[in-house]
């Protein structure tokens, strides 16, 4: 019985330490996000995939560009906690034709991760990379 309690206690401590490391990594990756506006006149027509993994929140998108305009953004993957409301970000980017859109309240981290994935996709279409 004592061995069982010891093993359970050890497992709880290990999971707690792992969780702290993951949360720290998440915060670092979120803090590192700086959304830059991409000049769409420099983006070639095509379909581009981009992704960003912030440990706890992850997004993968497909961006379709035609005549230097974003015509569609498909959210292929969005792993999130309570960030589901941020899934409107792709539509906002299409409407604004810009990455400079407001983040969604109470889904700020997911908003930033989705925007970063879109930025990464658009960078793949740049005719002259930054």
- Domains of the chain and any CATH numbers: 40-124 (3.90.1010.20)
**Nearest of 107, 108, 102, 125 to residue 42 by alpha carbon:** 125
* pLDDT for residue 4: 64
Spatial separation of the C-alpha atoms in residues 34 and 55, rounded to whole Å: 17
* pLDDT for residue 18: 42
Spatial separation of the C-alpha atoms in residues 67 and 62, rounded to whole Å: 17
Strand order, beta sheet including 46-53: 46-53, 58-66, 69-79
From residue 61, give the alpha-carbon distance in Å to each of 34, 41, 73, 87, 105. 18, 20, 7, 11, 21
End-to-end, the C-alpha distance of the chain in Å comes to: 62
CB atoms within 10 A of CB 96: 12
* pLDDT for residue 27: 83
SS (H, E, C) 35-84: CCCCCHHHECCEEEEEEEECCCCEEEEEEEEECCEEEEEEEEEEECCCCH
* pLDDT for residue 15: 45
How big is the chain, counted in residues? 130
Q: What are the residue ranges in the chain where pLDDT is below 50?
A: 10, 14-20
* pLDDT for residue 1: 56
């Amino acid at each position: 019985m004592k061995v069982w309690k010891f093993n359970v206690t050890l497992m709880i401590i290990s999971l707690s330490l792992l969780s702290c490391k993951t949360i720290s990594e998440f915060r670092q990756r979120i803090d590192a996000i700086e959304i830059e506006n991409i000049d769409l006149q420099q983006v070639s027509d095509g379909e581009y995939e981009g992704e960003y993994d912030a440990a706890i929140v992850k997004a993968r998108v497909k961006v379709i560009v035609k005549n230097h305009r974003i015509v569609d953004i498909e959210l292929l993957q969005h792993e999130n906690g309570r960030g589901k409301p941020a899934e409107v970000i792709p539509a906002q980017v299409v409407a604004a034709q810009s990455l400079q859109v407001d983040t969604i309240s109470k889904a700020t981290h997911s908003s930033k991760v989705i925007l970063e994935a879109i930025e990464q996709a658009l960078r793949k279409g740049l005719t002259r990379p930054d």
